[in-house]
Structure 1
């Protein structure tokens, strides 16, 4: 009998390779708003947290204007994003094993529907928790707790797969085991997780 009944995934950097889209659009917006060209390494922190929180960290005064501009540029660069190799096949395999699946993401519901929901394998997820479903966000536990409540599942029966420290901390605080998606993580050696998966296929080893 497998230890987990539910696998929950983050989206950006875990299911979908959106790094270039997010960072290019953020970089472009910041150049327009501030006149400063930020390097990607200065913006990595924005991956995995809600956009408004990233703008707060960047101390952008007119956040409403900045967010609209960021989303406009995101649309322009969206063609660069794609699912990571093997993701769709893994989702199908988990389904064939009777494993329920969910999503906890820092995207808003509108952003999720517009940019992510059209991928065919996304329709296989039973529950999706977005940034606007809770008051507090990752790394706080509230998004995961909301999913546990909606799916009526005990934390000990759930595994959260994500690519960032925010994901791993959210899982830990909610009492859920964590698996780091090394394929999308920055500085994975510095991130504590119950498991570290070099590639998506490694997830099977936790169920066989």
Structure 2
């Protein structure tokens, strides 16, 4: 029986790919004079911003500076963000069923305030773990383990829903099932290791005992 559902945000609850990629492209062009095509930045999706920036600098101080610039640029492109179709309806149904919901995200606390809270989904979640809460991040299991600890959920009764390989690796390292959100995921043969594959948000209801 599933008693707790943990969700990733970017690529799972919200379509923010253009926001993140365009804002990083702008940052790298402004600060590093680098012009990179979109496909060269796909690797940033699903990992903390500072970790992604390690590809462009080995200096901690420069990475911190670039991250600040990136965060500011994200706000310029937020009009590209949207909640995936069917997500609001799914969360509403899960709330009616009294299923405890949590978020485990690579966003920081600061990013949550500007990039998630304005969209009106926060009230659905009783447990929130961000990149600000753990030293290690996905694909490490620490973020999911913390969410399980905070929610009191048993591993055998929890599912993590995400769209990236990092999400799947984190879930499996934590010892819980992973459900692939195909609507936000990019094709990858490694997703054959997913425990559940969801074509659309409403499919998740099939795995909840009513």
Secondary structure of the residue aligned to 2:65 is helix
- Structure 1 distance, partners of 2:143, 2:111, is 16
Partner of 1:196: 197
Task: Check 1:60–1:71 CA distance in 2 against 1; reply closer, same or farther (3 A cut).
Answer: farther
Counterpart CA distance in 2 for 1:60 and 1:45 is 17
1:44 to 42, 45, 54: 42
| Cα deviation digits, residues 32-88 of structure 1 (max 9, x gap) | 222221111111111111100000123364112211221121110011101000101
The equivalent residue for 2:136 is: 136
Shift of 1:188: 4.1
Q: Give 1:56's aligned residue.
A: 54
After the TM superposition, which of the residue ranges 193-202 and 62-71 deviates more from structure 2? Answer: 62-71
Q: Tell me, in whole angstroms, the C-alpha distance in 2 between the residues paired with 1:186 and 1:156.
A: 27
The count of aligned residue pairs is 206
Query: Is contact 2:7-2:104 (8 Å) kept?
Result: yes
In the superposition, the TM-score normalised over structure 2's length comes to 0.94
CA-to-partner distance for each residue in 1:116-172, whole Å, 9 max, x for gaps? 012222211001000010110000000001011111111111010000000011110
Contact 1:117 1:123 in 2 (8 A): no
Aligned CA-pair RMSD: 1.3
> What's the secondary structure of 2:180's corresponding residue?
strand
Structure 1 partner of 2:208: 207
Unaligned runs of 5+ in 2: none
Provide TM-score, normalisation by structure 1.
Answer: 0.95
In structure 1, the gaps of 5 or more residues are none
SS at match of 1:11: coil
Task: Determine the structure 1 residue equivalent to 2:123.
Answer: 123
1:173 Cα deviation after fit = 0.6
Q: Identify the range of structure 1 (164-173 vs 115-124) with the bigger mean alpha-carbon deviation.
A: 115-124
Q: Is the 8 A contact 2:19 2:77 kept in 1?
A: yes
